[in-house]
Amino acid sequence: MLKEIVDLLTCRELESEELESRVAAIEGAADDPHLHWMEDRAPERLMQSAIISHLSDFIAYSSKIDEVHEQISDFFADPLPAYPLHEDGRRFQPDEYFVWLDRQFVQLIGQKGGYELLLLRQNHTDYLHAMTVLRPDTARILQLAAESGLIIERATERKRIGVPEVPMGEARHGPGAVRNHEDGDMLKELVDLLTCRELDADELASLAAAIEGAADDPEFEWMEDPEPDELRQTALVFKLMEHFAVGDKIDEVHELISEWFSEPLPDFPDKPDGSKLLVSEYFAWLDPLLAERQDNGGYEALVIDDRVSDNLNVILAWRADTPRILELATQLALVIDRSHPYVLSRALMGV
């Protein structure tokens, strides 16, 4: 397991002997004189620090986010654009930067499926430790990290890893303050992105208004005293139903997804023993196939809970738009999840 995670964190660039050497060094963390200073000797804490120590040449680290960006850019033969600024000259704060960077990485989809930035927690320092990995490998890395007790997160979805802010001399401007849209404008933007920008202006405005006005829509009278967020969640799925693949069986959902493409996806896969894949295994199989579809940088499958059924509701969005979709969903108190890695929500417990 450790060998695999080291291999994936280093983008499979290490030769066999070097890979074995680094894995052995990490496994021997308890006897490593460079880590004798650690007071917390729990195996998973030692392993976390040892990975950071022995893979330091693959890690961008600093107490300043713009310096981290420069190091990330140095990993590429063609440097990334300079650290981004707002129109008024303010530097992006970390969460804003991570969303911006993710869009840059998505544009590199032709290079081994694109890249993604992961953050590694280091308890004893305020430095940010970031690793650029191959995008198709992210889900497996996160799975292995969870099984090993390691703290590794997507930069765009961090929950447990703190990052330094860019000094501004004023209140923090996080993703929630990047745009001053009213809810209706944000909802319209969300619908536009969830439908791959295929709707004309009138249809887009009509759908957004229908979702926002669900409280007065007879179609939803059957819902018993729903909370506003619950009603909006249900209305989002129902009003965009023709854009969803919906079903209570994952192989049927796969058939619906495949029908969206002029060149169908491969048939639903079976395990070597003939048994069906679990939902999480299916999405892990599907994700790189969608990433390879070169239309506008590839696609990503998102799962949206309808709050009223056990159906699996899957919608395809452009991969480059996923960070913004998740950002808008958070601001609108909607539940939209990446399908990979697959996270069980209330609506999916019966799948």
Please state, as a whole number, how many other Cβ atoms lie within 10 Å of the Cβ of residue 183: 13
pLDDT surpasses 50 at 350: no
Which percentage of the chain shows pLDDT scores above 90?
30
Q: Could you read off the pLDDT of 297-348 as tens digits, one per residue?
A: 689 999 998 888 889 999 999 888 888 888 888 888 888 888 876 654 433 3
Answer yes or no: is pLDDT of 42 > 80.
Answer: no
For residue 137, CA distances in Å to 33, 53, 128, 314 come to: 32, 22, 21, 21
Domain ranges of the chain: 2-176, 183-348
Name 200's Cβ contacts closer than 8 Å, sequence gap at least 6. none
pLDDT digits (tens, 9 = 90+) for 240-270: 999 999 998 999 999 999 999 989 999 999 8
* Beta carbons of 144 and 133 less than 8 angstroms apart: no
Task: Please write the tens of the pLDDT for every residue from 101-149.
Answer: 988 887 775 566 788 999 988 766 668 899 999 988 888 898 888 888 8
pLDDT tens sequence across 91-101: 888 888 888 89
Q: What's the pLDDT score for residue 294?
A: 66
pLDDT of 150 reads: 85
- pLDDT tens per residue, range 54-85: 888 999 988 888 899 999 999 888 889 999 98
List, as own/partner pairs, every contact residues 157-165 make where C-beta atoms lie below 8 angstroms and the sequence separation is at least 24, other chains included: 157/326, 158/95, 158/98, 158/119, 160/121, 161/119, 161/120, 161/121, 162/126, 163/65, 163/94, 163/95, 163/119, 163/128, 164/63, 164/64, 164/65, 164/94, 164/126, 164/128, 165/93, 165/94
pLDDT at 8: 93
Instruction: Give the mean model confidence (pLDDT) for residues 216-244.
Output: 90
For the record, the structure tokens of 132 come out as 């650029």
Bridge partners of 134, per DSSP, are 115
pLDDT score recorded for residue 163: 62
State the pLDDT at residue 237: 94
Position 319 scores a pLDDT of 85
Q: What are the Cα distances from residue 24, in Å, to 54, 139, 169, 240?
A: 10, 24, 46, 52
Strand order in the sheet with 152-154: 59-62, 128-134, 115-120, 152-154
**pLDDT above 50 for 46:** yes
Query: For the chain, what percent of residues have pLDDT higher than 70?
Result: 83
**pLDDT confidence of residue 159:** 65
Q: What's the N-to-C CA distance of the chain in angstroms?
A: 28
Residue 234 confidence class, pLDDT cut points 50, 70, 90:
very high
Q: How far apart are CA 184 and CA 44, in angstroms?
A: 46
* Alpha helices by DSSP H, 28-118: 43-54, 65-74, 94-106
**pTM for the model:** 0.52
Write the single-letter amino acid at 157. Answer: E
| pLDDT(281) > 60 | yes
pLDDT-derived band at 161 (thresholds 50, 70, 90) equals low
Strands (E), the chain: 59-62, 115-120, 128-134, 152-154, 244-247, 299-304, 312-318, 336-338
On average, the pLDDT of the chain sits at 82
Q: Which of 103, 104, 109, 100 is nearest to 136 (CA)?
A: 109
